[in-house]
């Protein structure tokens, strides 16, 4: 039985765990405010808020309900627009109306939910962050400027709060209804364990669902599922023996917000905003990105340049494998039947070393790369390169650790002549194909230029 709170109502359902939250709210609960646009996570028309405990605190995140398996709603608070509507417009809805942020209205509810999720967050409510919160919402009518004005208005209103209890203030101001104040207590009573801790071998493992529900929604709907998203043993981020260990079901957002991770990668915000969009990052797990084995997987390329190791787990047995050996052929990994990724481990780049990630795609948000690449350089006290790890995507059938290039750099002094020579070697170990993301020649050129971008970041940080 899947139990959760939908707006104000407690829900218990035996509908398929692999069916979507979108279909549940629209067709089963007749809450038609949540719209269907693309069903692929691209448009944001189906955005809902999902309240869940993170480190003991109730946190609301925006998610695209078209890609959210019902299993992942268990134990949470799912909020559709009907759950924030009151007798008058909320300040978010009012700001959208006042600034002409809505025309045909099809996208509007998605924007309202994303802005409301932004309002529910603690921390700074700057206009820049308000605009970033709608990076997963597309509008075909307004041209966005009016929505940006709404973002500024909402941000100004939120910055007026001086109360320590942010939720109380939001209720007082009408951003969310008063019943939100009881949700924490109500969620604590949803104690029934779900998902089941173990499922028979052969059950389809699912993390956030952002790949599986795009690629094979019907299979997911009818499959026996092993939901991994809420498995607490897979959601930890720890530092042990100086290494960072990232649980398989940690989402990209949780990874980016973690204090240890942020300390290790001071430029992380710049990198992470290139990965999908806020609602997708809120659902997408790090392991899902690796197992999908897409040739341009951003997190795969990121972890390859960290020379990361995976811990694989099956029936109490564990084994470790370098990430660079995990990818074997197009969409083929070293994962054995019944095995799951338990965690991803790596040594954080030490102080004084260099780490950078670059990605080129057709638009900044919600687009996959034509080519992406990451680079880590560790310098010895004498100024030579003690360790180099380069990776790239879009130039091979799977995310590639650039073995020859990395080995070539080791032990050498960084000079312009070395970079020129390295670029030549780089070209010998890639084999891009011409496709919709660019021709072979374009991708070769792109990787050379992105290699230069790494160097520019390195020499002129
Ligand atoms: C609109 C949109 C934009 C996107 N943009 C980007 C982008 O910019 N960059 C990018 O890299 N990706 C992007 N993606 C792809 C996707 O979001 C990521 O690959 C994501 O990390 C997948 O994680 P998930 O948890 O949602 O995977 P799921 O769909 O849940 O699972 C993917 C695969 O991983 C397996 N799996 C999951 N967890 C485990 C585990 N612990 N052990 C073993 N197997 C496991 C599943 O069985 C499945 O085969 C985008 C997707 C969408 C829909
Ligand atoms: S319907 Fe387009 S993101 Fe869900
Ligand atoms: S108002 Fe029509 S799509 Fe945004």
Report how far ligand 2's centroid is from the alpha carbon of 124 (Å): 28
Portion of the chain with pLDDT greater than 90, in percent: 88
Report how far ligand 3's centroid is from the alpha carbon of 134 (Å): 14
- Indicate the pTM of the whole model: 0.96
Is the separation of the CB atoms in 354 and 375 below 8 Å?
yes
Which of 103, 115, 136, 144 to probe ligand 3 with, by most ligand atoms within 8 A of CB? 103
pLDDT score, position 102? 97
> Which helix or strand (DSSP H or E) is residue 89 part of?
none
pLDDT score, position 434? 92
Q: Please, what is the average pLDDT of the chain?
A: 94
Q: 43 CB under 6 A from ligand 1?
A: no
User: Atom of ligand 2 at shortest distance to CA of 67?
Assistant: 4
Is the separation of the CB atoms in 93 and 249 below 8 Å?
no
pLDDT score, position 366? 73
Which pLDDT tens digit goes with each residue over 197-214?
Answer: 455 556 899 999 999 999
pLDDT of 272 > 60? The answer is: yes
Residue 43, CA distances (Å) to 3, 39, 63, 365 in order: 28, 8, 12, 11
Confidence band, pLDDT 50/70/90 cuts, at residue 362: confident
Residue 192 or residue 185, greater confidence? 185
Give the residues surrounding ligand 3 with Cβ less than 6 Å away: 102-108, 139-142
Backbone angles phi, psi at 214, to 5 degrees: -85, -45
Domain ranges of the chain: 1-191, 232-346, 354-459
Which pLDDT tens digit goes with each residue over 24-75?
Answer: 999 999 999 999 999 999 999 999 999 999 999 999 999 999 999 999 999 9
Report how far ligand 2's centroid is from the alpha carbon of 130 (Å): 20
pLDDT score, position 372? 96
Domain 354-459: homologous superfamily in CATH: CO dehydrogenase flavoprotein, C-terminal domain (3.30.390.50)
Strands 309-314 and 317-322: antiparallel
Domain 1-191 has CATH 3.30.70.120: no
In this predicted structure, which of 140-144, 151-155, 350-354 has the lowest mean pLDDT?
350-354
Alpha carbons 282 and 284: distance in angstroms, whole number: 6
SS3 321: strand
Q: 50 CB under 6 A from ligand 2?
A: no
E strand intervals along 163-315: 204-206, 225-227, 237-240, 243-247, 309-314
Q: Which CATH code for domain 232-346?
A: 3.30.465.10
pLDDT of 320 > 70? The answer is: yes
């Amino acid at each position: 039985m899947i139990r959760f709170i939908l707006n104000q109502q407690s829900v218990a359902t035996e509908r398929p765990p692999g069916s979507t939250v979108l279909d549940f709210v629209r067709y089963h609960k007749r809450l038609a405010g949540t719209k269907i646009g693309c069903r692929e996570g691209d448009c944001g028309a189906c955005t809902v808020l999902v309240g869940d405990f993170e480190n003991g605190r109730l946190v609301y995140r925006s998610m695209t309900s078209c890609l959210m398996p019902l299993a992942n709603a268990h134990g949470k608070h799912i909020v559709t627009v009907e759950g924030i509507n009151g007798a008058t417009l909320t300040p978010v809805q009012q700001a959208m109306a006042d600034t002409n942020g809505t025309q045909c209205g099809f996208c509007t509810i998605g924007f309202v939910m994303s802005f409301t999720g932004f309002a529910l967050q603690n921390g700074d409510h700057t206009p820049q962050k308000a605009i970033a919160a709608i990076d997963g919402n597309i509008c075909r009518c307004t041209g966005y400027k009016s929505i940006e004005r709404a973002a500024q208005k909402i941000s100004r209103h939120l910055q007026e709060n001086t109360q320590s209890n942010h939720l109380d203030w939001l209720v007082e101001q009408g951003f969310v209804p008063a019943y939100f104040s009881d949700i924490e207590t109500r969620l604590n009573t949803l104690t029934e364990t779900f998902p089941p801790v173990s499922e028979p071998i052969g059950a389809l493992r699912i993390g956030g669902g952002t790949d599986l529900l795009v690629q094979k929604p019907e299979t997911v709907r009818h499959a026996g599922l092993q939901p991994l998203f809420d498995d607490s043993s897979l959601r930890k981020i720890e530092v042990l023996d100086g290494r960072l260990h990232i649980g398989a079901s940690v989402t990209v957002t949780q990874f980016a917000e973690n204090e240890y991770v942020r300390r290790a990668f001071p430029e992380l915000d710049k990198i992470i905003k290139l990965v999908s969009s806020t609602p997708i990052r809120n659902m997408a797990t790090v392991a899902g990105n690796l197992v999908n084995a897409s040739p341009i997987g951003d997190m795969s390329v990121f972890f390859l340049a960290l020379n990361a190791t995976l811990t694989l787990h099956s029936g109490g047995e564990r084994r470790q494998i370098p990430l660079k050996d995990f990818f074997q052929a197009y969409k083929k990994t070293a994962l054995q039947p019944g095995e799951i990724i338990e965690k991803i481990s790596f040594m954080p780049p030490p102080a004084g070393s260099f780490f950078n990630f670059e990605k080129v795609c057709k638009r900044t948000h919600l687009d996959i790369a034509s080519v992406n690449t990451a680079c880590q350089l560790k310098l010895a006290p004498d100024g030579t390169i003690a360790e180099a790890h380069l990776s790239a995507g879009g130039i091979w059938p799977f995310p590639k650790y650039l073995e020859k290039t990395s080995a070539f750099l080791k032990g050498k002094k960084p000079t312009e002549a070395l970079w020129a020579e390295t670029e030549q070697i780089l070209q010998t170990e890639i084999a891009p194909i011409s496709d919709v993301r660019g021709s072979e020649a374009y991708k070769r050129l792109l990787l050379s230029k992105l290699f230069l971008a790494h160097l520019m970041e390195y020499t002129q940080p």
